Amino acid sequence: MTQKALFLDRDGVINVDSGYVHKSEDIEFVQGIFDIARLATEGGYLLIVITNQSGIGRGKFSETDFWNLMSWIKNRFAAENCPLTAIYSCPYHPIHGVGEYRQESSFRKPNPGMILAAQAEWSIDLSKSVLIGDKPSDIDAGIAAGVGTNLLVRARNSVESFVNSGYFGISELAESKKYL
């Protein structure tokens, strides 16, 4: 049996992107994230986080710091009655990574590796799934993986629908309700 998923980028979608966030006290959740996550959960979607984390690769914080924060975020989502199913991350950066972290990775968006790993692990029907991202690389990953609906949060820009390009522009998370 296949399931549908709501794929969420972290920085800029789940939390305000204030640059290399790695401590719970620095987290400010994006307005409406828990409402959207609850709606998706009620609609039978798995909630899956897919996040590039080049701050690890750049030496700004450790993998342990990242996973400790994600455990805290996961607990917050559970407390809001919208538990996260899985978290996929990519610490690598092909140019700015340090040491072992300086490499190409099929998991680093715009590559679809994290989405495809989730699909295999959770038996996800990508054509019935939704992705919400705040950067073109998020959308490119969704399109490359075959995600049925890709939403680009573009709060600072004029918003248009780009159906022929494989995604829709939305100005705030609340607009994603109509796609779930």
Q: From the candidates 11, 134, 138, 140, which is the catalytic residue?
A: 11
Q: What are phi and psi of 124, to 5 degrees?
A: -95, 135
The answer to whether 49 and 70 are in contact (CB under 8 A) is yes
Q: From the candidates 9, 134, 138, 140, which is the catalytic residue?
A: 9
Q: Say whether 11 is catalytic.
A: yes
The answer to whether 167 and 148 are in contact (CB under 8 A) is no
Question: Where would I find the beta strands (DSSP E) of the chain?
Answer: 4-8, 45-52, 86-90, 130-133, 149-153, 161-162, 167-170
Q: Say whether 9 is catalytic.
A: yes
Task: Point out the residues that are catalytic.
Answer: 9, 11
